[in-house]
């Protein structure tokens, strides 16, 4: 990761730690307190939700159906890029527990990559945009940048 202000790294990490704790507690209220009111979210299957009410409701439905016991562990902050106005784009990697999809198929534990836009709010940061993508381990082995 390029050299970034230590305070910025600490602020991004604080949001990620809060996210991880809220996810593992299945606490959607705590999770979305980390977001702006006008957040946009793209989930792992490409659904796009707008505004905190929509984003929180959609996550609550999926938590109740699928994710209640699916663990989440931050593996790495892969990058933090500074944007104008004190905002940041962070790319992070999570280790995720498995879960049963609505069709009954089991998704095994794996890794997800998340891009977040974080904006200043009070003394810290809030999530203004998020996109979450499952990492295809077989495809990752053929990443032309890492070969």
One-character DSSP codes across 40-88: EEE-TT--EEESHHHHHHHHHHHIIIIITT--EEEEEEEEEEE-GGG-E
Residue 101 covered by a domain: yes
Beta bridge partners of 82: 88
Q: What is the CATH number of the domain that holds 102?
A: 3.10.450.50
Residue 133 has pLDDT above 50, yes or no: yes
pLDDT, tens digit (0-9, with 9 covering 90-100), for 2-18: 556 788 899 999 999 99
Distance CA 68, CA 26 (A): 6
* Domain contains 64: yes
pLDDT in tens, 46-84: 999 999 999 999 999 999 988 888 899 999 999 999 999
Mean pLDDT, rounded, of the chain:
92
Is 122 a domain residue? yes
The total domain count for the chain is 1
Q: To which residue do tokens 């994710």 refer?
A: 67
Assess if residue 134 is contained within a domain. Answer: yes
What pLDDT is attached to residue 6? Answer: 85
> Which residue, among 8, 44, 60, 40, has the nearest Cα to 127 in the 3D structure?
40
User: In the prediction, which pLDDT does 147 show?
Assistant: 66
Range of the domain at 22: 6-140
Is 13 within a domain? yes
pTM value is 0.90
Residue 145 placed within a domain? no
Which residue would you say has higher pLDDT here, 22 or 123?
A: 22
Q: What is the pLDDT of residue 1?
A: 47
């Amino acid at each position: 990761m390029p050299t970034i202000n230590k305070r910025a790294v600490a602020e991004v990490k604080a949001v990620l730690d809060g996210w991880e704790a809220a996810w593992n507690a299945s606490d959607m209220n705590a999770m979305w307190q980390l977001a702006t009111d006008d957040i946009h979210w793209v989930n792992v299957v490409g659904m796009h939700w707008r505004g905190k009410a929509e984003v929180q409701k959609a996550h609550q439905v999926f938590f109740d159906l699928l994710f209640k016991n699916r663990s989440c562990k931050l593996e790495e902050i892969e990058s933090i890029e500074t944007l104008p106005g004190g905002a940041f784009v962070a790319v992070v990697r999570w280790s995720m527990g498995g879960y049963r999809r609505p069709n009954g198929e089991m998704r095994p534990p794996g890794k997800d990559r998340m891009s977040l836009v974080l904006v200043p709010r009070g003394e810290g940061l809030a999530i203004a945009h998020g996109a979450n993508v499952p990492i295809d381990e077989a495809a990752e082995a053929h990443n032309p940048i890492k070969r």
